[in-house]
Structure 1
Amino acid sequence: MKLTVALILVLILLCGISLAVGAADLGAAMATDGRAQMIFWISRLPRTLAVVLTGAALAVSGVVIQQIVRNRFVEPGTVGTGESAALGLLAVSLWAPGAALWVKMAVAAGAGLLGTAVFLRLIRRLPPQEVMLVPLAGLVWSGVLGALVLHIGWQTDLIQFVQIWLMTGEFSGVIAGRYELLWIAGAAAVLALFAADRFAILGLGDEMATGLGLSPKAVMRLGLVVVSLVTALVMATVGMIPFVGLVVPNIVSRLMGDNLRASLPVTGLGGAVLLLACDITGRLVIHPYEVPVGTVLGVLGALLFLVLLWRAPRHG
């Protein structure tokens, strides 16, 4: 409870800083200056909301994929979900460039789901005692899909779109009208919160889940939908964001244990706090210019992950 309250207070503080920081100094002009008000409502507020939604959704989806795979060293960005979604977006861009946005998102989410399902079938033959083989297999699968996406993008002169989807990870282009799909990602994360107990039971194994009256395949399908939908929407809106779904769930698990009903909301708050802090840092490092949040998070996330590997967990 104390951790939840602390994260909420930190998130409120960071939201206030995010609304105040930017290339334009709004200051006291907000009350009278129409231009300052326009910047606030069209740029600052949507950007802050987009960062919060993205961080929370990615952190929750990281927990879900870890429960499905039963391995704490994976996230949607390391099991081929993002690359599969990019392949779906690339296919729509080539074959139906005039398709509605919801159609592109549906195809991307479906491709992400298919790519993740293929990864799950690939790791079934791996020995369960070799924990590190699962993330290694995920990195190989992601690399194969990423190479395929880059090859098709290069051959079809769409390499700039591929770079935006897979390599950017920044919020400078987020304005009102260009982030609203992230609310769907947030809704998917809330759906995962309601199914937290089912995901926790699934993490015990198929036999244990079946013995407790749960259908492992149904819960796995639900988890795949949540992960693929969140990944596709985030990637198409702001690009790939690394480490959130890997670092935050592990930190929360070490602090609170494996009770997903209690820890999943804290994980969502932690993801929002981490990503918003990195976004503010990226805006302040070379102000008034920006460092992409993906770059800041890549450095910070790598350091946090190394700390997690070296420190012993508080629970188990």
Structure 2
Amino acid sequence: MQQNARVGGGSQPLLYNHNKIWTKPFILAILIVIILGFVSLFTGVYDIRGQEDGMDMFFITRVPRTAALMLTGAAMSMAGLVMQLITQNRLVEPTTTGTIEWSGLGLLLVYLLFPAPTLVLRMTGAIIFSFIGTMIFFLFLRRVKLRSSLIVPIIGLMLGAVISAISTFIGLVFQVTQNIETWFVGSFAPVQIGRYEYLWLIVVVTFLIFIYANRLTLAGLGEDVATSLGVNYNRIVLFGTGLISLAVGIVAAVIGNLPFLGLIVPNIVSMFRGDDLRGNLPWVCVIGMGTITVCDIISRTIIMPFEVPVSLILGTVGAVIFIIILLKKRKQGGLR
């Protein structure tokens, strides 16, 4: 980290990396994602070039699906990046903090209160409960004295397991499990025009994270350091949690459960770029888009003409990378 920058026009200095974003590797990464997007547009069982309504289906299903892939990949990767920064732990993301499970509980309760909820209602429930669950996770962390690399995600996984059990129990008692069963197996198959547009709110979330990147970076250094540099630690953590909840809630309502994406991408980026949020954010978004698009293409082609839920592919790849990260940290003495 080099050079001084001002925080919100104040007098306190903030250190962050001024590395160029538009480098040759970054441009190459964008070109690869664009190519993957074109492959996604023309991947599927339906022959859009050989049918009379092929072009209609192209714009009704293929274009929305590819756009949803890009937006979702960026959203979940960003959520993981911000969570890892705030908690100062590389093993943290919505899957390992219980945030996803809280989103599912919010969706379930919305279905209980409203028999045929609109997408806005589902998103609202998922966002509110994502926020509540993430704040509860942070409150637990404040009371835990032992803050090793493994303890933090273990706490999150335990909380998530409890919330998942509660959701299952409520669903069985009130016979509404079938209403959210697609959420448990996140898939882009139902995405079509008119059912994904709220994902564009993720662009706003990205913009806000980039604007507040300096403050979030300071929050990642700890409460004492952030306060000494003139940043209201509690306020910025609350703001960051709100952005995470907004992104995760939207994805949970529209797509469903997408495990480990927020873990894989930020760790890959940090391996060759360090921990600068402002500099890493574009990379995280682009690689997140590419990762989810590759997994979705595999899910559509591996057993054609049938389709495997993308969460299955993503979960398998993510679990393997999660284990690799653990082994690498253990070898480097990073696990205590």
TM exceeds 0.5?
A: yes
Contact 1:193/1:265, CA 8 A, preserved across alignment: no
Match 1:9 to one of 17, 26, 31: 31
More helix by share: 1
Does residue 1:192 correspond to 2:209, yes or no? yes
Amino acid at match of 2:114: A
Does residue 1:78 correspond to 2:71, yes or no? no
Contact 2:112/2:176, CA 8 A, preserved across alignment: no
Alpha-carbon offset, residue 262 of structure 1: 0.8
Match 2:71 to one of 53, 71, 77: 53
1:156-181 C-alpha deviation (Å, 9 max, x unpaired):
1111123222x211111111011111
Does residue 1:302 correspond to 2:325, yes or no? no
Alpha-carbon offset, residue 98 of structure 1: 5.0
**Counterpart secondary structure, 2:162:** helix
Tell me the equivalent position of 2:238. 221
Equivalent-residue separation in structure 1 for 2:176 and 2:232 (angstroms): 42
Contact 2:119/2:253, CA 8 A, preserved across alignment: no
1:247-298 C-alpha deviation (Å, 9 max, x unpaired):
1001101110011111111001111100000000111111221111111111
Tell me the equivalent position of 2:155. 137
* TM, length-normalised to structure 2: 0.87
Equivalent-residue separation in structure 2 for 1:309 and 1:133 (angstroms): 12
Alpha-carbon offset, residue 105 of structure 1: 1.8
Contact 1:251/1:308, CA 8 A, preserved across alignment: no
Q: Map of 1:59-208 to 2, 5 A cutoff?
A: 59-97=77-115, 100-165=118-183, 167-208=184-225
Match 2:273 to one of 225, 243, 256: 256
Tell me the equivalent position of 2:9. none
Equivalent-residue separation in structure 2 for 1:62 and 1:83 (angstroms): 15
**Farther-moved stretch of structure 1 (299-308 vs 262-271):** 299-308
Tell me the equivalent position of 1:247. 264
**Counterpart secondary structure, 2:83:** helix
Alpha-carbon offset, residue 187 of structure 1: 2.3
Contact 1:149/1:162, CA 8 A, preserved across alignment: no
Alpha-carbon offset, residue 128 of structure 1: 4.6
Q: Map of 1:15-30 to 2, 5 A cutoff?
A: 15-27=37-49, 29=50
Equivalent-residue separation in structure 1 for 2:106 and 2:328 (angstroms): 39
Amino acid at match of 1:196: A
Equivalent-residue separation in structure 1 for 2:176 and 2:237 (angstroms): 34
- Amino-acid identity (%): 38
Alpha-carbon offset, residue 189 of structure 1: 2.6
Equivalent-residue separation in structure 2 for 1:280 and 1:98 (angstroms): 32
* TM, length-normalised to structure 1: 0.93
Q: Give the superposed CA RMSD.
A: 1.9
